[in-house]
Amino acid sequence: MIEETIMFRRRRLVAGALALALATPLVPVAAAAAPTGVDVFAEEAAGFAKDRGITEAEARQRMAWQLVAPDLDTRLTAELGSRYGGLWIDVRDGDRVTIGATAVDGGVQATVKAATAELGLSVYDLVPVKRSWERLSADNDWLAGEVIRVNAGAAVALSAGIRTDLNAVQLGLPADGVLSAAQKAFVEAARARLGAGLVFGAAPGRGFAAFAGCVSPYCDPPLRGAVKINYPGVTSCTAGFVAQSKVDTKKYLVTAGHCAMGRTGNWWSKNAGLHEFKIGAVHRWIFDTYIGDMALIRIDDPSEIGWNPQPWVMVTWSLQTTENQTYHISSDNMSVVGMRVCTTGQATRMSNCGHVTELGLTANLGGLPMRNLGRTTNCSKPGDSGAPMFASHVAYGILAGGVEGDCDTVYQGIRTAERELNVNILH
């Protein structure tokens, strides 16, 4: 029988509920779906435990909660409709899955209980919020259009995104630089229109840099994600994930669209001996405000190297991760605010993990306004563009850019890339 804990921010009950969950751990459905005998948390649990100052058993429990959060979000969006206030991982309260609802009545409680039970989530918080997910999305759509409008020609850039953890939309203001008259007027209009549903945060004044061009290691075959890829004499980026066409068996590397823009010829990589081999030409690239930042590089798999692409990404050693050059990807999913996510960019070189801070972000990326990005606390550098964003063997996105010298990174959601590029991430 599944134990259920519904919390209404009565903090005195949290410790007891968490102790129950740890005493009787339940493996969520998503974790159970991993290949038999595979420990999906093996490479990351120790680092996450150190990062949080908890035991490895507690870290594994929290990571298991995160695995089911995107599927729970999708289900509750459909089943609760206008009563649903969004979902987030509360990084300030034990990484608990927190569900917002505009009315916490018997019907909502029964719907949430059924959904969490089916997904195997035994511990969660159900909290009342003022604004529904539908309203947050509509407010964010309005903000996004206005941000794109007022940023055009301005010296500094605003940003906008959804903060489900604050039950609000966030308008990002640059810490330095002077706003234009149009930007100032928009800020006041947003304040008046959205009231308490608007919060203010920081945004890089020049927008997020589209990261391309650096030095990093390579791998012998099989070809995998997170290795350095080169457009000779011009730029370098990072491979994201291996993907397969939805209409045939052709294989591709997914990377950032701005990497491939104007560089549609053959891309190359090297083996561990630093001998260069061709991957193939760009099959399709997208770098568009309303669609996203994504590209496919065809894998020709020449006989002289035999790339033999696999559903792996390279994970390097760090304080947060365990080295695994054949870290497999077993599934892909949507993101939620607060969820833990890791990346390996071949300029940063060392894998690192952070958490999602905003979704549905509108911000300048490489000089172009871009909608529907995710924002995280991961660290990244020029050359990391296209890098895989993952956790617990689940693919969540591809790194699009960031603020150099600061752990502030943006990424393209993987489900959008699959849909627009007509591929499936290889599992």
CA distance between the termini of the chain:
32
> Residue 96, by phi and psi: left (phi above 0), alpha (psi -120 to 50) or beta?
beta
Residues 145 and 115 in one domain: no
Residues 27 and 155 in one domain: no
Residues 186 and 305 in one domain: no
End residue of a domain, out of 66, 96, 128: 128
pLDDT at 303: 63
pLDDT at 211: 75
Residues 189 and 255 in one domain: no
Q: How many domains does the chain have?
A: 3
Mean pLDDT by 10 residues, the chain (427 residues): 30 28 41 64 92 96 97 98 98 97 97 98 97 98 98 96 98 93 98 98 91 66 95 96 96 98 96 91 98 97 82 93 93 98 94 97 97 98 97 98 94 98 97
| 342 vs 396: CA distance, rounded Å | 9
pLDDT at 10: 30
End residue of a domain, out of 100, 128, 156: 128
Residues 358 and 234 in one domain: yes
pLDDT at 43: 86
Residues 412 and 263 in one domain: yes
Residues 159 and 273 in one domain: no
Residues 275 and 421 in one domain: yes
End residue of a domain, out of 188, 203, 218: 203
pLDDT at 206: 87
DSSP 8-state symbol, 320: S
Residues 52 and 84 in one domain: yes
Rg of the chain (C-alpha set): 21
Residues 288 and 345 in one domain: yes
Residues 143 and 214 in one domain: no
Is pTM, for the whole model, over 0.85?
yes
List all residues 6 or more positions away from 241 whose beta carbon is below 8 Å from its beta carbon.
Answer: 225, 253, 254, 311, 313, 329, 388, 395, 398, 414, 425, 426
| 87 vs 98: CA distance, rounded Å | 6
Residues 370 and 262 in one domain: yes
- The boundaries of the domain holding residue 71 are 5-128
Q: Looking at residue 327, which CATH number applies to its domain?
A: 2.40.10.10
Pairing state of beta strands 5-7 and 123-128? parallel
pLDDT at 30: 52
